[in-house]
Structure 1
Amino acid sequence: MAVVPAGVLAPRSTGRVPSWPRGVLIVVEGFWTWYRRNWRATAVSSVLQPLLFLLAFGVGFGSLVAGGGQAAQATGGAPYLVWLAPALLAVSAVQSAAFESTYPVLSAFKWQRVYHAMAAGPITPAQIALGHLSWTVAKMALSGAIYVAVIAVFGGVVGPGIVLSLLAAVLTGAAVASLVMAFASTVENEGGPFNALFRFVVIPMTLFSGTFFPVDRLPEWIRPLTVLSPLWHGTELARDAALGVWRPLAVLGHTAVLLGLLAVGTVLVTRLYRRRLTR
């Protein structure tokens, strides 16, 4: 046992983390400690799957898309791979956000009960929620950076704007992750709710958000619905940045929508985590 010198007050634990940032960082550190030892288990979903999308649609299907005529008009004259790559970056972030915010969240509540172990210490439920959300965003940024490097190898990068595309994709993924985490915190059984989420939200959002073709190619009655898709806003931001297109009002509008969704999701996730971990 250590002996405290005379005249020196022994430190006392307050039983609580002294600040919000520190508590959030402790949660992030916990997930990072697990990930650096088990990253291979998630490599397929976070890195390999988006690369297969790029090879299949950008390189494979893209080689069949003619460089002129209606195709050139749809892509603004850019090669299909260059036009598609930033959109797939946003898709990758959204799909990763949806996966990381469903089963892992339910597992931390119900099966492994990691959240309960954290809440038994000095960390608050809100810090747990924000810590897990922050870790999810950091993981998306890491996977996105690897994806950008591969895009560059295949000739899908035409300028430094791809860095802004990565930021737009991460913002889109963060907005989706916050909302999905809030939803997952209310789920008791994994079967129906998560299947419905992927089948009726994530997949349609991937197909009808201007990822593989412009939204003006969709039927007129469905075009207004694309405004409700976070992925459409993220795709527009990422694609404009990668192609060097500057539309100030569009940038402000898309960014405001994504930040608004992130703010709403953050408020919901902190409240719902607090409710579930204290009941």
Structure 2
Amino acid sequence: MTAGTLHPTLAVFGRQLALYRRLWQASVFSSFVLPVLFLVSIGIGVGRYVGTLEGVDYLAWIVPGVLASTVLQISMGESTYAVLGDFKWSRAYHAMRATPVRPVDIVCGHLLYLVLRAEVAVVAFLLVVVFFGGLHSPWSLVAPLVCAVLTVATAAPVTAFAAAIDHDSYFALLYRFVVIPSTLFAGVFFPVEQLPAVVRPLAYASPLWHGVELCRAATLGRVTAWPPVVHVGYLLLWAVGGVTLAVLAFKRRLED
């Protein structure tokens, strides 16, 4: 590779950024405005009736939940139709494979772009939350790092799934039986401990719950019920496993 040659992963990342520069206006509402409106309506509106939860006002309690769930929505949105489309409709991945770009470069470039997308939304959201008094600890600065890991932990397996299917109807099932239940029952709006004991393991199995717990510990400045290393390790397990599956799925599909 010559000094002026861009690394293949960065080349894929640059391609994603070039596309996003043309389409960024369409994502502003879902990535930033909608979470803020949701925070105001639920955190302040419903919060007046809820009062405090676990010793803090409800607004501050749901901030990390809305933050983590926003990351989940971005990860899912950019790893479903976008990935399948570049395989099936635009065949952009096949064009990349005709160059020195390897499947692992495509996957890593895609995930690097998603991390940047998520981090921009996370930082913007946290800056707004400061004016609502929703951050109670300087450890809030750790939340973007947690969200970066959560992005890969959720986007990588979905990317693998999108690369393995041939019809977008499967995404409706993914959103209906994975994304929506995860958002509702992963500690975003109420403590998981309020769920029936038989249902709690499903919440614990969700990467979103672990991300919410870590973000909540950071924004509220308190320790988690489970050791932080367990939460981080679980997210890393999903991230590494998802990347491995995604690379294998891309290799298999691009060889067809």
Q: Normalising by structure 1, what TM-score? A: 0.86
1:9 aligns with none
Unmatched runs of 5 consecutive residues or more in structure 2: none
Give the letter for the 1:240 counterpart.
A
Matched with 2:146 is 168
Scaled by the length of structure 2, the TM-score of the pair is 0.94
> Residues 57-91 of structure 1: CA distance to partner in whole angstroms, max 9, x if unpaired?
11221122224xxxxxxx32111111110111111
- Structure 1 residue 270 corresponds to structure 2 residue 247: yes
Counterpart in the other structure of 2:89: 111
CA distance in 2, matches of 1:46, 1:66: 27
Query: How far 1:248 sits from its partner (Å)?
Result: 9.1
Partner of 2:165: 187
Distance in 1 between residues matched to 2:55 and 2:226, nearest whole Å:
23
State the distance in 2 between where 1:190 and 1:182 align.
14
Contact 1:51 1:147 (8 Å CA) reproduced: yes
Who is 2:70 aligned against?
A: 92
- CA distance in structure 2 between the aligned counterparts of 1:257 and 1:32, rounded to whole angstroms: 29
What amino acid does structure 2 have at the position aligned with 1:23? P
Q: Which residue of 2 aligns with 1:246?
A: 223
Shift of 1:186: 0.9
Determine the structure 1 residue equivalent to 2:110: 132
State how far apart, in whole Å, the 2-side matches of 1:157 and 1:230 are: 23
Unaligned runs of 5+ in 1: 1-12, 68-74
Residue 221 (structure 1) aligned with residue 198 (structure 2): yes
* Contact residue 89 and residue 166 of structure 1 kept, 8 A: no
CA distance in 2, matches of 1:125, 1:187: 17
Q: Deviations over 1:17-41 (max 9, x none)?
A: 98xx911111101111221232112
> Relative to structure 1, is the Cα distance of residues 195 and 22 closer, same or farther in structure 2, using a 3 angstrom cutoff?
same
- Sequence identity (%): 40
Distance 1:248 1:55, change over 3 A: closer
Give CA-to-partner distance per residue, 1:208-257, whole Å, 9 cap, x none: 11110111111121112211111111111110111111359610100000
Q: 1:258 aligns with which of 210, 235, 238?
A: 235
CA contact (8 A) 1:86 1:162 kept: no
CA contact under 8 A between 2:61 and 2:216: conserved in structure 1? yes
Q: Structure 1 CA distance, aligned partners of 2:165 and 2:28?
A: 26
Residue identity in the other structure for 1:47: F
Structure-2 separation of matches of 1:240 and 1:125 = 37
Q: Secondary structure at the match of 2:104?
A: helix
Q: Give the SS at the match of 1:185.
A: helix
Aligned-residue Cα RMSD (Å) equals: 1.9
How many pairs align? Answer: 255
Measured in 2, the distance between the counterparts of 1:144 and 1:207 equals 20
Considering only CA atoms, is the larger Rg found in Structure 1 or Structure 2? 1
Distance 2:143 2:103 in 1: 32
Distance 2:87 2:67 in 1: 30
CA contact (8 A) 1:90 1:170 kept: no
**Paired residue secondary structure (1:262):** helix
